[in-house]
Chains A and B, each alone.
Chain A
Amino acid sequence: MDLLGRVRALLADHPPAGTAPLDFLRARFDAGLAWVHFPVGLGGLGLARSEQAVLEAELAAAGAPDNNPRRIGIGLGMAAPTILRYGTEEQKARFLRPLWTGEEVWCQLFSEPGAGSDLAALAARAVLGEDGVWTVDGQKVWTSTAHTARWAILLARTDPAVPKHRGITYFVCDMTDPGVEVRPLRQITGEAEFNEVFLTGVRIPDAHRLGAVGEGWQVAQTTLNNERVAIGGQAAPRESGMIGVVAEVWRNRPELRTPELHQRLLKGWADAEVVRLTGERLRQQLALGQPGPEGAAMKLAFARLAQELSSLELELLGEEGLHYDDWTMTRPEVVDFTGREAGYRYLRAKGNSIEGGTSEILRNIIAERVLGLPAEPRADKDLPWKDVPR
């Protein structure tokens, strides 16, 4: 049966109108229609990644429920491809289905107070006991969805006597373990989108290790590459995102207009459209199986644009820009730029150039991997981790 035939059979057996969303999602996964490029039996059909758009369009037209990809983005975008590549058959069978249906939310325990952009400097320790169980102690930070997550992907140091990149191991951590403590971390916006996670004597069976002992850094590269390549298969229409918000204010509120803001609005509109077309060009390349280096550019460009436009919006609003909608500490499951007022957008956009790789790190990546410029000399490259001054 061809792909569309399978989609129609799924819709016939589980009519979206009369099926509970979770039941539909489970059936969709079992039919191999979750992510078509995954293997048969793991939610896929082993097809080309580009076929996914065909199926998504067909399901959306039929009114099928989705798995709320934004809510489970870390699982979908980071944990799943890593488990697929490095997981054992048991791990794949256990984790992928509830991950995809959204029954189990994932978070990512990578960053630490002392290891942000220099991720490989991380200090959380994992020690293997004689019973074949690892014990983990340490502190992680900037962990979104930790308070709703059932599982975490975790990087911990398993050998402090070797240079920093070589002594790290990658685990799946059970967030319901009694040694896991999640504390909200209140941010600049007033809400607590992220958490601190304290790991005290957390016991992780060796069966929950992903990849070989000491090779966590290589495994993490899969996770991180997928984080940055997470660009949608759908074409974005003109004036989607932040520029659309600002343009509508401009159109609807002529009393706010000034010549200086007009110049900046037009510059911002043109920049936004150039970024949109760059994304569209990347999408067309990916559809042909030719991923270009433009992927690295998108996050950088998006961050700069979001910051400029949200800043412009506040100035445009003038007196209203002095207000803020709500400082109450909430713990949102997803970031919602357009569901809040301008002040929130301005403050939250400051994080766009920090989260998921700072703009400075992305520029280094572009300079070294795309342009081929030499790396800066590194003082800690060959030193055992324990001997690095800190």
Chain B
Amino acid sequence: MTPDLPTPDLLYSEVEEELRASVRSLLDHHCRPNAVLARCEGDQPYDLALWATLAGQLGLAGLAVPEEHGGAGAGPREVAVVLEELGRRVAPVPYLGSAVLATTALIACGAAEALPELASGTRRAALAVPFTTAPGAAFPTAVTAEAGTLTGRVTSVADGSVADLLVVPAIGTDGPGLYAVEVGGAGVEVVRRTSLDLTRPVADVILAGAAARRLAEAETAVAALDRALLTGAGLLASEQLGVAEWCLTTTVAYLKERRQFARPLGSFQALKHRLADLWLETVGARAAARYAADALASGSPDAAVAVALAQSHCGALAVRAAEECIQLHGGIGMTWEHPAHLYLKRAKADQLALGTPGFHRAALAELVALGA
């Protein structure tokens, strides 16, 4: 039932720790909670100046892009570390949508043309599927292709509202294909939705005979889309880990400081036990998220299991961590001015994204021969 699997590397390398330190230091200066909060009700919830710094100064947008296409030639393990840090800050940048989902799809189908500009961060892309689409799902049929144009409507696209380029799965007369569509062209409309997640709002894409360039067809298109979704789901676990870690750390700090009944709240056993349990699940989440990143990076035959496992654990954990954070902050946790709600909104949206925990557990059933 269980294949002989190579032992994964579940630790962080020195290079990865250095990467983490530089991302964290930059976010400490340029991504403060109050600024994130102030931004999310304005016209532009995304911090594109921060994006330019992350992409330009640290080269993060091109981390997983091969060097010959202008990237750093790193892989999922490094990208996962970046996502942990971005999650810890609920950073309003289109990293997951552009640098992970769309970029992975383009690399997987060998469409190198757009990669240098995406890697440098001068342009942004989005994968035009509902953010809830899970790896292994049926190929989307919302968009149809005809004579080099696309028509259809794709709802709830992650990071869609700031994309310059859309990577669109569509069905033509000859079957599935993956297409590139320029935003701003005739017949392309992107409508920002009011979103649960204020720091990564979703947008609808409406295509009415939009000019499109075919990137891949048939099995190549199907495989490229699935690779992007699998990679996205696996690495989303690291973002969820980062969200959970912020919630845990912030709550611990608050309970050490806040006094009630003439004692620090953190000295009450009932609260300590809840935080110990949360910590325990976070420790598990780190192991699961690292395993997913490592399995994706090494091309492990166990990658699908690793991703489903990480998603089934980390999605629920991040939500629970954010819920505990709000509850244990008491009334302050319910206020708009405390950033905890940003984390709950991100955590809950992430739980729905790229397959729910229940979906991924069902996927495990097939993968590990435990079918109903």
Contacts and interface: CB of A to CB of B under 8 A. Distances in A.
Nearest to A257: B372
Contacts of A281: 10-11, 286-287, 290
A367 B264 CA distance: 13
Interface in A347-390: 360, 362-364, 366-368, 370-377
Contacts of A293: 283
B325 to A, nearest CB: 14
B362 interface: yes
A183 B275 CA distance: 40
Interface in B135-156: none
Interface in B45-79: none
B199 interface: no
A209 to B, nearest CB: 35
Contact of B288 (A235, A259, A263, A277): A277
A259 B287 contact: no
Interface string A230-259: 000001011100000001001100000101
Contacts of A285: 11
A373 B275 contact: yes
Nearest to B358: A263
A266 B266 contact: no
A181 B241 CA distance: 53
Contacts of A274: 284-285, 287-288, 309, 313
A57 interface: no
B204 to A, nearest CB: 33
B370 A363 contact: no
For the residues of A in contact with B, the DSSP-based class is helix
Given A277-B288, A281-B287, A367 B272 contact: yes
Given A278-B284, A373-B252, A374-B256, A270 B313 contact: yes
A277 B312 contact: no
Interface string B307-318: 001001100000
B324 to A, nearest CB: 13
Interface in B203-256: 252, 255-256
Interface residues on A, range: 35 or more
A294 B268 CA distance: 23
B284 A376 contact: no
Interface stretch (B1-9, B172-180, B346-354): B1-9
B276 A366 contact: yes
Interface string B286-312: 111011000000000000000001001
Contact of A265 (B285, B312, B313, B370): B370
B279 A250 contact: no
Contact of B279 (A266, A297, A364): A297
Contacts of B284: 274-275, 277-278, 297, 301
Interface in B248-274: 252, 255-256, 263-264, 266-269, 272-273
A285 B290 CA distance: 14
B320 interface: no
A366 B280 contact: yes
B370 A300 contact: no
B43 interface: no
B364 A280 contact: no
A239 B1 contact: yes
B287 A373 contact: no
Given A239-B1, A239-B2, A371-B252, A266 B370 contact: yes
A374 B266 CA distance: 6
A287 to B, nearest CB: 10
A323 interface: no
Given A277-B287, A297-B283, 7 more contacts: A238-B2, A265-B370, A281-B10, A301-B284, A368-B272, A375-B267, A377-B263
12 contacts: A235-B7, A239-B2, A247-B1, A262-B372, A266-B364, A270-B309, A270-B313, A277-B290, A363-B276, A364-B273, A373-B264, A373-B267
> Which 8 A-B residue pairings sit nearest by Cβ, starting from the closest?
A367-B272, A363-B276, A277-B287, A373-B266, A366-B276, A281-B10, A374-B267, A266-B361
Interface of B: 1-2, 5, 7-11, 252, 255-256, 263-264, 266-269, 272-273, 275-277, 279-280, 283-288, 290-291, 309, 312-313, 361-362, 364-365, 368-370, 372
